[in-house]
Structure 1
Amino acid sequence: MPSVTDAIKRVLVGRPFRSERLSETLLPKRIALPVFASDALSSVAYAPDEIFLTLSIAGIAAYTLSPWIAAAVVVVMFTVVASYRQNVHAYPSGGGDYEVATVNIGPNAGLTVGSALLVDYVLTVAVSVSSGAQYAAAAIPVLRGHEAAFAVVLVLLLMTANLRGLRESGAAFAIPVYVFMFSVLGMAVWGFVRLLGGTLPQAPSAGFDLAAEHDLSGGLTSVAGAFLILRAFSSGAAALTGVEAISNGVPAFQKPKSKNAATTLLLLGTLSVTMLVCIIALANLTHIRFAEDPATQLLRNGVPVGDSYVQDPIIGQLAATVFDHFPVAFYVVTAATGIILVLAANTAFNGFPVLASILARDGFLPKQLHTRGDRLAFSNGIIALALVAIGFIIAFDAEVTRLIQLYVIGVFVSFTMSQTGMIRHWTRHLKSETDPAERASMRRSRVINSIGLGLTGLVLVIVLLTKFTQGAYIAIIAMVFVFVNMKLIRRHYTSVSRELEIGPDSKPKALPTGVRSVVLVSKIHKPTLRALAFARAAKPTELQAVTVAVEPEESAALQKRWEEMGIPIPLTVLDSPYREITRPVVDHVKALRKRYPRDLVIVYVPEYVVGHWWETLLHNQSALRLRARLRYQPGVMVASVPWQLSSSEGLEDRVERAAPGVVRRGTFGPAPSEEIK
């Protein structure tokens, strides 16, 4: 019978896949679009809010700049999309920006990009899920005040869905993503139709006056005004997040991989900017008022509306305005928006594990992150992402306004380094390419990447200037922390590899002149007799049984019974005045090694094999501590002699039915309980 934990795992994750089925997990474009584009598309739900929030600081006059800021975001978006279409063709292996920077600039540049993307993926999950939790709290009053706990539950649900595999999670999430796309585009089309027909009403908030939060004495043309505009642009640039995920996920596409990835990139860019522009245009046409501090900035007849006023997001206000006579459509738009904000995190759940796997393959992250799980997904990376994102959510209490200040920096570091790397890539290939058509194509690509470098570098500077004091420095510290730790991990792996490598002067070590066997005895029972039999079968040079005299009466009784049974092996009793077990045994083994330095010492430990996890709590674990100490003694081996208790019957069959990855990682079933005393 399978264990309870294994049964639960199968219900949540599903049955394991054979390695040969990896090709079946590849995604067609119709599934790849919602899987990899959900992050960029979801920004449509909050990027307009951030633009209007920032501009509201200067009052209603600043709203006239929102179309120009949207236009600037559109230019950057299409430039980045065009640049990344070059990337997926040149580097289709899935390394994305990390591979581009490493190959063309150097390992440190690649690590910089890797650390920036890892942090950005974590923040994507934290920001998206927190935003979705706030939408849910607005619709379900009982969740108010518990947004962080609800966000944690959502992250765990996303983690479980992704552990089932990329194709399954993608198919499950595709429908709500498409519903969001069609509902927002449908709202935009119907809004413009009503505009042309002269029936487009004003938004409910249009009747409010908007007071400036800060007095910009020099106006928007002053230094402070220019800084405000740049800050609004940097907030709107959040619409570009998620574009890089496709370049990291090229291996997940069906063949032809690069072509399908490039097509998906173009669809993503077109849909994202279309929805962003439509929302900002309709927000201005319906005269929506959206303030950073609505209680004091929004005025009704010159009086602040106060804390009782609940300010709905821009998409919510637009849906209520455009569909004022069709409430069903309003609920569809708002529900789809809340769902897409949560599903935006799915992009990170697809990008982070792949990137972490590549970094682990190169020795910069623990090797476990390169292992595929039962469903052929990088399970350890998925779990790691979920845990770190939950940490951020709890630390910032799921407050989007605080988390979003940490956002975007990582992705624009990645954009800028990637464009630099691609320029060097084309320059290097132009030196050896002789075909005129190919050279012309490479020059065009280099121009595209050069424009991309200029724009993304400018946006990066703007983001750093406008968001650094708002909390972005935390993201930078996190990137530095990840960068330094990846360097240390690589140094460790390199050091271990160098130490274990067989050099030209390496020779097989001489065989030991003898074998000294030590059988640990706590009491005379079946496991002890089996250990003695196994040790005798090995025909050692010397065989001795050793017990530790913790309680003199028990020790004397054991010696007496030993003699009565006539066991033909000498029993050595180690004194332990301080009731220790580990130290006397280790000292005894050290003494043997000192007396016979050229001999091998084998310590036999009787081991109980139990079938239930709770049984391990009922047995002494002193053998575990002893084995841990003996591992550091040269010339010493520890041999476990298992004795299967009745509760372990059938465990072997369960292990055989378990997925190979489970057994390899040692996570199946209960750990054995060893006992000396």
Structure 2
Amino acid sequence: MLVKRLLVGLPLKTAQAAHERLSKTLALAIFCPNPLSSVAYATEEILLVLVLAGTVALHWSIPLSFAIVGLIAILNVSYRQIIYEYPEGGGAYLVAKSNIGELPGLVAAAALLIDYTLTVAVSTAAGIAAITSAWPSLYEHRVALGLSAVALVVVINLRGVRETGKIFAFPTYFALLALSAMIIVGYAQLLVGGRPPGGPSEAAATPMLESLTFFLICRAFAAGCTAVTGMEVISNGVKAFRPPEPRNAAATMSVMSIILAGLFLGISGLAYYHGVAPKADETVVSQLAHHVFGDGPPYYVVQAATMMLLILAANSSFSGFPPLGSALARDGYMPHQMSGVGDRLVFSNGIIILGVLAGLLLLIFEGDTHALIPLYAIGVFISFTLSQTGMVLRWKTKRGAGWQRKLMVNGLGAVTTGISTLVITATKFTQGAWIVILLIPILIVWFRSIRSHYKAVADQVMLSRDLRPPLPRRNIVLVPIGGVNRAVIRAIDYARQASSDVRAVLVDVDPEETARIEIQWAQWGCGVPLIVLPSPYRSILETLLDYIEQLLQKDQDGWVTVVLPEILPARWWQNILHNQRALMLKAALLFKERVILTDVPYHLQR
């Protein structure tokens, strides 16, 4: 408990929830690192595909970047409409479920949960790659560094929304400033015609491995679409903003989109003008920083800033995954434990689960960004398409002022994201995207099985009009003993308050010991009868269970309460010095009908 308080902090009162709301400045630091950080690898992913057709094909990165910026603009306007229409949050899941149906809603939810998990893993891996580009000696420790980074982000998020924003605000804005400075200085150097200090302005020619086909260009576009992942996260967390929530959330959405488009185009343009091609041991941003700043301190500042932004990008998922899990839990599709907030007024269970899942991905893929990215973006584009389609159906049904304009905006969003989804799925399917396509139906089956379980529980425990309060039943209270001591007498004292029919039960496995206990019981048993059960074997548990079964068979409506005297040592390690008979008996009786277990602890002082 002390360690938890040191890491997470003291509990917050429920009344403090209103004071934990975010200003636009802090919200940008919490929600936006994910989409903003994608500029660190989106351009590189485009170039990794185009370079297959040789360096002469790299000029296609510019029109593809403009196409993706156009997609950013469409999504910005579309999600602003969702924010105003659904101010309670919920994003694609709620929009698809309420307008299209349960199944599309669950598809959107499953896709987003997968994408959020991948975002944490990809962003962390990319952040560590930025560091290992500057300090190659750390490369072999990339998995351990990635797991440490995920654990750090989990702990920070468990401290609460507002405190998370305060912690992340400086590194987020510092990283944006550093990347912006690199772009501005880089273009200034190009405008004045000076030779960049980092080296030649053209990369060495790369041999052509594939022809420059339309399919290759589509693959490059699909790879670059990682730049728009995370744009939906604000629509899931509208409630986290200060009032007026929709207005502040929409404003943050627009600012984020403008910064994202500017950084992405800036990096793509610099990469083109400097002739940068992807390398296995150095990121594109690292190469650009070398071209712009050389090997001086500014280079390392850019790398450190990129690393911070990429690792902080994982935080956006920690702002999206838990609220989405909570919405699913409230609807009965996920365990109810995910629906409530913890003592720091955040969805603690969702945060921890996301951290564990992302850590497992880092271990499985050994922290390799390029191995993870083919799985990326598919989920989020499926949710994009479903949410936009849901909004189109909503405007057709609801109508209202300006509904035709709103329908056209969301309709354009549905068409563009739908086409993008098909392109991404087709081009990345054999590279690992099939895993995501397979996981979505598996998750949906899991969602529905959870809901079926909760429905079955509700049906079985529900009170109905024809149900009458039961008549009082006989309750036989048994106190299993293995000797006579203070713990046993304490349990007997409690048992006598619960029923008039109390019996101490002793299994006879040693006649001499049994005779000695019977003599002690005559003195200390408080008048409670001692039932001695003969056992031909050394099995105490089986003999006791047979006796309980006989009592249940004799009285089909009666209760049997087993009161267990249990000695609890003062220190945890001392438990190994005591037998675990009470624990085994609990495990054997827990699922037995009409048997009630009561534990009477006796605490030792040392």
TM-score range, shorter chain: over 0.9
Q: Distance in 2 between matches of 1:401 and 1:538?
A: 65
Distance 1:522 1:188, change over 3 A: same
Q: Which residue is 1:305 aligned to?
A: none
Q: Distance in 1 between matches of 2:390 and 2:504?
A: 66
The partner residue of 1:537 within 494, 497, 502 is 497
The partner residue of 2:529 within 555, 567, 570 is 570
The partner residue of 1:365 within 324, 334, 354 is 334
Q: What is the deviation of 1:637?
A: 2.0
Distance 1:616 1:357, change over 3 A: farther
- Contiguous gaps of at least 5 residues in structure 1: 1-5, 295-309, 648-677
The partner residue of 2:182 within 183, 187, 191 is 187
Q: Distance in 1 between matches of 2:229 and 2:334?
A: 24
Q: What is the deviation of 1:179?
A: 1.2
Q: Which residue is 2:405 aligned to?
A: 444
Residues 186-585 of structure 1: pairs in structure 2 closer than 5 A = 186-201=181-196, 204=199, 206=201, 208-216=203-211, 220=212, 225-290=213-278, 310=281, 312-324=282-294, 327-430=296-399, 433=400, 438=401, 441-512=402-473, 514-540=474-500, 542-563=501-522, 565=524, 568-585=527-544
Q: What is the deviation of 1:285?
A: 1.5
Q: What is the deviation of 1:372?
A: 1.2
CA-to-aligned-CA distance 1:208-232 (integer Å, 9 cap, x gap): 432234142xxx3xxxx11110011
Q: Verify the 8 A CA contact 2:201 2:273 in the aligned structure 1.
A: no
Q: What is the deviation of 1:371?
A: 2.2
SS of 1:81's partner is helix
Q: Distance in 1 between matches of 2:159 and 2:228?
A: 28
Q: Which residue is 1:605 aligned to?
A: 564
Q: Verify the 8 A CA contact 2:24 2:248 in the aligned structure 1.
A: yes
Q: What is the deviation of 1:642?
A: 2.6
Q: Verify the 8 A CA contact 1:545 1:572 in the aligned structure 2.
A: yes
Q: Verify the 8 A CA contact 2:111 2:440 in the aligned structure 1.
A: yes
Amino acid across the alignment from 2:587: A
Q: What is the deviation of 1:611?
A: 4.1
CA-to-aligned-CA distance 1:231-255 (integer Å, 9 cap, x gap): 1101110010110100001011111
Amino acid across the alignment from 1:248: N
Distance 1:207 1:479, change over 3 A: same
Q: What is the deviation of 1:288?
A: 1.9
Q: Distance in 2 between matches of 1:619 and 1:422?
A: 63
The partner residue of 1:136 within 112, 119, 131 is 131
Q: Verify the 8 A CA contact 2:203 2:274 in the aligned structure 1.
A: no
Report how many residues are paired: 606
Residues 579-594 of structure 1: pairs in structure 2 closer than 5 A = 579-594=538-553
Distance 1:205 1:388, change over 3 A: farther
Tell me if 1:49 matches 2:44. Answer: yes
Q: What is the deviation of 1:287?
A: 2.0
CA-to-aligned-CA distance 1:582-604 (integer Å, 9 cap, x gap): 32222211111222233332221
Q: Distance in 2 between matches of 1:611 and 1:455?
A: 65
Q: Distance in 2 between matches of 1:376 and 1:613?
A: 31
SS of 1:633's partner is coil
Q: Distance in 2 between matches of 1:516 and 1:215?
A: 82
Amino acid across the alignment from 2:495: A
Q: Distance in 2 between matches of 1:581 and 1:357?
A: 46
Identity %: 39
Bigger shift: residues 528-537 or 43-52: 528-537
Q: What is the deviation of 1:102?
A: 0.7
Amino acid across the alignment from 1:85: R
Q: Distance in 1 between matches of 2:516 and 2:202?
A: 94
Q: Distance in 2 between matches of 1:228 and 1:205?
A: 28
Bigger shift: residues 590-599 or 126-135: 590-599
CA-to-aligned-CA distance 1:456-510 (integer Å, 9 cap, x gap): 0000000000000001111222222222111111110011001111112111122
Bigger shift: residues 586-595 or 573-582: 573-582
Amino acid across the alignment from 1:461: L
CA-to-aligned-CA distance 1:428-462 (integer Å, 9 cap, x gap): 112xx4xxxx1xx2211110000000100000000
Residues 578-657 of structure 1: pairs in structure 2 closer than 5 A = 578-647=537-606
Q: Distance in 2 between matches of 1:611 and 1:170?
A: 42
Q: Which residue is 1:660 aligned to?
A: none
SS of 1:212's partner is coil
SS of 2:600's partner is strand
The partner residue of 1:9 within 4, 17, 36 is 4
Q: Which residue is 1:299 aligned to?
A: none
Bigger shift: residues 313-322 or 406-415: 313-322
CA-to-aligned-CA distance 1:18-66 (integer Å, 9 cap, x gap): 1111111111000101211100000010001111111000011211111
Q: Distance in 1 between matches of 2:102 and 2:208?
A: 46
Q: Distance in 1 between matches of 2:390 and 2:76?
A: 16
Q: Distance in 2 between matches of 1:132 and 1:331?
A: 14
Q: Verify the 8 A CA contact 1:13 1:160 in the aligned structure 2.
A: yes
Q: Compute the RMSD of aligned alpha carbons.
A: 1.8
Q: Distance in 2 between matches of 1:594 and 1:89?
A: 63
Q: Which residue is 1:669 aligned to?
A: none
Q: Verify the 8 A CA contact 1:200 1:286 in the aligned structure 2.
A: no
Q: Distance in 1 between matches of 2:333 and 2:535?
A: 46
Distance 1:483 1:204, change over 3 A: farther
Amino acid across the alignment from 2:67: A
Q: Verify the 8 A CA contact 2:130 2:286 in the aligned structure 1.
A: no
Q: What is the deviation of 1:275?
A: 0.7
Q: Distance in 1 between matches of 2:394 and 2:569?
A: 59
Distance 1:231 1:511, change over 3 A: same
Q: Distance in 1 between matches of 2:525 and 2:458?
A: 50
The partner residue of 1:84 within 79, 82, 93 is 79
Q: Verify the 8 A CA contact 2:561 2:598 in the aligned structure 1.
A: yes
Q: Distance in 2 between matches of 1:617 and 1:566?
A: 29
SS of 2:597's partner is strand
Query: TM-score by structure 2 length?
Result: 0.96
Amino acid across the alignment from 1:242: G
Q: Which residue is 1:675 aligned to?
A: none
Q: Verify the 8 A CA contact 1:364 1:486 in the aligned structure 2.
A: yes
Tell me if 1:106 matches 2:94. Answer: no
Query: TM-score by structure 1 length?
Result: 0.86
Q: Verify the 8 A CA contact 2:24 2:241 in the aligned structure 1.
A: yes
The partner residue of 1:151 within 142, 146, 163 is 146
Q: Verify the 8 A CA contact 1:204 1:317 in the aligned structure 2.
A: no
Q: Distance in 2 between matches of 1:566 and 1:174?
A: 68
Q: What is the deviation of 1:564?
A: 5.5
Q: Verify the 8 A CA contact 2:197 2:293 in the aligned structure 1.
A: no
Amino acid across the alignment from 2:386: M
Q: Distance in 2 between matches of 1:565 and 1:408?
A: 72
Q: Distance in 2 between matches of 1:134 and 1:334?
A: 10
